[in-house]
Amino acid sequence: MGALHGRHDAHGRHAAPVITGLGLALPPRATQTELWEGFFAKHFSGTTRELAQRIFANSGVTTRQAAVNPLLEDVSDWPTERRMRRYLVEALPLGKEAVGRALTAAGLAADDIGLFAVCSCTGYATPGLDILLARDLGMAADTQRVFVGHMGCYAALPGLGAASDFVAARGRPALLLCAELPGLHLQPSSARVDTQQIVAHALFSDAAVAVVVAPESTTPGYAVREVAAVTDTSTADYMTWDVTDTGFRMGLSPKVPQVLASHVRDLVDSLLARHDLRRTDVDGWAVHPGGPRILNVVERELSLPPEALAASRGVLADCGNCSSPTVLLILDRLTQGPRPPDWIVMLAFGPGLTLYATLLQRSPGGVSISA
């Protein structure tokens, strides 16, 4: 096993979990205009087409990725079984690329990993990505695995919490992979106006991001100080992700921003207070861009200056909403900037309605966490 196995601090406790490696894998991109003109415009008609065009234009998305390019291959009539077969074909190489880059950045080998956690809500198979990638990458036979499914856009943060808890308890490195292919679930229809479905088609994009979490050492990175959550179960039907005969279908209530507005300030302020911090101490914000309205609500409720969410808006524009990997894409952008933040708050939202927050602190050694 790796050299980090069983590492303890001066008091005999396992060292704090630190993000030491991050790897991205993005499928080919297309512009929002190309996708509208070359594919989506053909699937809508009349007033529905006019509505859809306005939604696409106001989505905040400029370019996004697709493992299965709708300009070349129309999946909208595929049955779910065919989509699931294609999911494995596309997700495995993307996951392998992301994991490989994260391990390289962390300076570890696959058989150093004690826990391999995978988050994905856009495809299912058994054996799943966790087993197949562990095999293909050469992870040790005693590597533990956990699969997080159907948590949607916020899954990266409970996944990061599970990985961090393992590192803190066992003193061994953990690996988290978020791999999503929402592009496989296109099912536009001109038969009726479905605004929620149009919004989903205007925003979502494919991506895979992997993160290595290791015991604190001289390796540069970000210490995971806490993962916190709040769920408002009275609004459980505001965001849904249902399995249908023609792929997975999203339900997205326009009331979601109102629910976030009710909870996000208390969640963030309570998290920071437990570490003797205030919002003004945070110089990095990685906020999941569920859409432009979500970012506007968070900015308003937390009284943030416009530049605070520049990385979140930039990822939405350049990559779209990639579900669970998105907040990690924003983390990568923040840490690769000219002045990497000392304190980062990550926020993500999804079904429940659930809000997750994570506090990261820059380690003294530096911040080179991407390959």
Helix 292-301 to helix 310-319 angle, to the nearest 10 degrees?
170
Residue 24 has pLDDT above 70, yes or no: yes
User: How does residue 193 score in pLDDT terms, banded at 50, 70 and 90?
Assistant: low
Of 153, 178, 319, 322, the active-site residue reads 153
pLDDT at 108: 96
Residue 80 scores a pLDDT above 50: yes
| 144-148 and 174-180 beta bridge pairing | unpaired
% of the chain exceeding 90 in pLDDT: 84
pLDDT for res 214: 95
pLDDT above 70: percentage of residues in the chain: 93
CA distance 158 to 124: 19
CB count, 10 Å around CB of 207? Answer: 29
Which residue do the tokens 């190309």 mark? 34
Indicate if 121 belongs to the active site.
no
- Chain centroid to CA 162: 15
- Measured CA to CA, the distance from residue 72 to residue 38 in angstroms comes to 9
Where are the alpha helices (H) located in the chain, listed in sequence order?
32-38, 46-57, 80-106, 129-137, 156-170, 195-203, 256-273, 292-301, 310-319, 326-335
Residue ranges, CATH 3.40.47.10, the chain: 17-215, 222-362
Q: Topology of 17-215 in CATH?
A: Peroxisomal Thiolase; Chain A, domain 1 (3.40.47)
Identify the band that residue 252 occupies on the pLDDT scale cut at 50, 70 and 90.
Answer: confident
Note the pLDDT of residue 6: 37
DSSP state of 290: S
Burial class (CB in 10 A: 0-12, 13-18, 19+), 363: buried
Instruction: List Cβ neighbours of 27 (8 Å cut-off, separation of 6 or more).
Output: 65, 66, 67, 90, 94, 206, 207
Residues paired with 29 in a beta bridge: 65
The pLDDT, as a whole number, for residue 48 is 87
Strands 247-252 and 17-25: unpaired
**What is the distance between the alpha carbons of residues 130 and 125, in angstroms, rounded to a whole number?**
10
pLDDT of residue 168: 95
pLDDT tens track for 304-337: 998 999 999 999 999 999 999 999 999 999 999 8
Name the CATH topology of 222-362: Peroxisomal Thiolase; Chain A, domain 1 (3.40.47)
The per-residue pLDDT for range 127-140, each reduced to its tens digit, is: 999 999 999 999 99
pTM: 0.93
Beta-carbon count within 10 A of 47 CB: 9
Q: What is the mean pLDDT of the chain?
A: 92
The tokens for 24 are: 């991205």
pLDDT digits 0-9 by tens, 340-366: 999 999 999 999 999 999 999 998 755
Burial of 216: CB neighbours in 10 Å, binned 0-12, 13-18, 19+: buried
